[in-house]
Amino acid sequence: MLAAEVDVVHERVWQAVSHYWEPNKIHGHGADHALRVYSMGLRLAAALGADPLVVGAGCYIHDAGMRPDVGREGHIERSLQIASALCEEMPELASVRSLLLTTIRYHEAELAYPAPLPMEAVCVRDSDTLDRLGFTGIRMTLQYGVWIGRELCHPTDPLCCERTPDLNAFTMDYVRYLGSLPQRLITPIARGHSEEKQKQREFYCSEFLSSFREGRMRNHEDALKLVKVHVREESHVA
């Protein structure tokens, strides 16, 4: 399939699924996440020789099953249902149905996967994981923490340096946990990109701790203000 034809299919997929993403910005997984993952996914596909049709569609659908009422719970199964329905409607996807569903089923870094995992699934998985790192990942984590009602941080160990992270209790514990994700990346290209993302997380945590000690980090709103400054600066540089 020609590149222009692939672009047309991707646009049709996005038109079909974008309404699923929009409400989920309430917990940080809105359309901006989908678009960033899509952009990185296609870059990985081009570098690794993966089918861009499958990678792009997988990136657009992978978290479409999230909902503003239940968040991540059951989202992979719902995303698979959305993908299956689209395969019935679009002949171009019907021919790659099994591969597309595999990219969605194993897109999360924490999920065990069968070896070898198709390169298309690797591209979607690594691109999603990369967006969970750095400033973008911190912002999503903070927004999810607000939505789920977590405390921002432990009162005496705000960056979880002396405890095992309690991911359900403190948002900043989850930010520390994000630092373990680069080791789950599969491709050398993605691992290379993760180095800058790790620097961003370390920089943010340093600024967070300074603000916390000065009494200026009182809640998720303060933490979000801090990260949004850097997200805007990064966007301007890009």
pLDDT over 60 (residue 235): no
Q: Using only C-alpha atoms, what is the Rg of the chain?
A: 18
> What's the CA gap between 238 and 11, in Å, rounded?
23
pLDDT of residue 238: 42
Mean pLDDT of 44-72: 97
- pLDDT band with cut points at 50, 70 and 90 for residue 236: very low
Of 75, 35, 70, the residue nearest 56 (C-alpha): 35
pLDDT of residue 233: 52
Q: Count of H helices and E strands in the chain?
A: 11, 0
Q: Structurally, what CATH architecture does the domain formed by 3-129 represent? A: Orthogonal Bundle (1.10)
Mean pLDDT of 160-179: 97
> What burial class does residue 161 get, using C-beta atoms within 10 Å of its C-beta: 0-12 exposed, 13-18 middle, 19+ buried?
exposed
**For residue range 82-95, what is the model confidence (pLDDT) as tens digits?**
999 999 999 999 99
Helix H or strand E segment including 58: helix 52-61
Mean pLDDT of 118-123: 98
pTM of this prediction? 0.94
pLDDT of residue 230: 74
> What's the CA gap between 42 and 126, in Å, rounded?
11
Mean pLDDT of 142-161: 97
Structure-block tokens of residue 66: 């999230």
Helix (H, G, I), strand (E, B) or coil at 7: helix
pLDDT of residue 234: 53
**For residue range 7-20, what is the model confidence (pLDDT) as tens digits?**
999 999 999 999 99
How many other C-beta atoms are found inside a 10 Å radius of the C-beta of residue 114? 10
- pLDDT band with cut points at 50, 70 and 90 for residue 237: very low
Report domain extents, the chain. 3-129, 132-237
pLDDT over 70 (residue 98): yes
